[in-house]
Amino acid sequence: QWGNECQLDQLNVLEPSHVLKCEAGRIEIWDHHAPQLRCSGVSFDRIVIEPQGLYLPTYFNAPKLSFVVNGRGLMGRVIPGCAETFMDSAGGQWQGQGFRDMHQKVEHLRRGDTIANPAGISQWIHNNGNEPLIIVSVFDIGNNQNQLDRNPRAFHLAGNNPQGQVWLRKSQQEPQNNMFSGFDPQVLAQAFKIKLNTAQQLQNQKDNRGNIVRVQGPFGVIRPPVRGEQRQEQDN
């Protein structure tokens, strides 16, 4: 696969080759078939999340290193086997009346942050600022964590990509749906112990918002305050 790809006689400046437009942002993708990127074994993208935009949970076949170019926001990753260490409950009992939610760690993002994410770990990002949140990422598709082909492959847990994975250069590109949409809704209902219509909702079949959606209402995830942020409640 890596024949003569590094026999480069000339280097060029590279511009994004594909733009995926979403309800609350866009994803710009550089063509990883470009000789320089093929030689380096990487691909590159840039996501722009508008204020109140939410980049829905997605995982990739390769590790990635990201850099926050502009804006601020919140980011969460779900790591297999890790506990939900962020919990909001009045008495510490998650089945009681005071229980609201529990989830894995949520982190604040701001300009200059560099984020490392292993292959297969899903990540979501919310822009809670007043300006676009811009993040650039390099995907190390030549890394041994990637055991698929030398293409960046996104797996969406929610949302979808109506334009399809155009960077794969398939002759007939089809819209990309989320991972639940491929299962029989009955299987999902059995696995989640939920009603069939809720299982169908998980499939996002009638959704054309893309993978960055606009948040409806407040985004009240459990998160510690950033340094200098006022506490909402005063303890005695």
Rg of the chain over Cα atoms, rounded to whole angstroms, equals: 20
In a 10 Å sphere around its CB, with 0-12 CB exposed, 13-18 middle and 19+ buried, how is residue 162 labelled? middle
The binder of another protein chosen from 220, 233, 234, 235 (CB under 8 A): 220
Q: For residues 101 and 131, which CB has a smaller minimum distance to another protein in the complex? A: 101
CA dihedral sign of residues 84, 85, 88, 92:
positive
Give the separation between CA 78 and CA 105, rounded to whole angstroms. Answer: 8
Give the separation between CA 184 and CA 194, rounded to whole angstroms. Answer: 14
The count of C-alpha atoms lying within 13 angstroms of the C-alpha of 75, restricted to the half-sphere facing its C-beta, is: 23
Tell me the number of residues near another protein by CB under 8 A. 68
Q: For residues 39 and 221, which CB has a smaller minimum distance to another protein in the complex? A: 221
| Contact flag: residue 106 with another protein (CB under 8 A) | yes
Please name which of 80, 15, 78, 19 lies closest in space to residue 211, comparing C-alpha atoms.
19
Q: For residues 30 and 124, which CB has a smaller minimum distance to another protein in the complex? A: 124
Give the separation between CA 126 and CA 52, rounded to whole angstroms. Answer: 7
Give the separation between CA 149 and CA 222, rounded to whole angstroms. Answer: 38
The binder of another protein chosen from 15, 130, 193, 228 (CB under 8 A): 193
Q: For residues 6 and 174, which CB has a smaller minimum distance to another protein in the complex? A: 174
Site residues for another protein, 127-156, by CB under 8 A, read 145-148, 153-156
Please name which of 210, 212, 215 lies closest in space to residue 25, comparing C-alpha atoms.
212
| Contact flag: residue 198 with another protein (CB under 8 A) | yes
Q: For residues 69 and 88, which CB has a smaller minimum distance to another protein in the complex? A: 88
| Contact flag: residue 66 with another protein (CB under 8 A) | no
The binder of another protein chosen from 21, 131, 187, 229 (CB under 8 A): 187
The binder of another protein chosen from 22, 44, 158, 185 (CB under 8 A): 158
The binder of another protein chosen from 115, 121, 136, 166 (CB under 8 A): 121
Give the separation between CA 180 and CA 159, rounded to whole angstroms. Answer: 10
Residues contributing to the site for another protein (CB under 8 A)? 54, 56-57, 59-61, 76, 78-82, 84, 100-101, 103-104, 106, 118-122, 124, 145-148, 153-160, 164-165, 174, 176-184, 187-194, 198, 201-202, 204, 207, 213, 215-216, 219-222
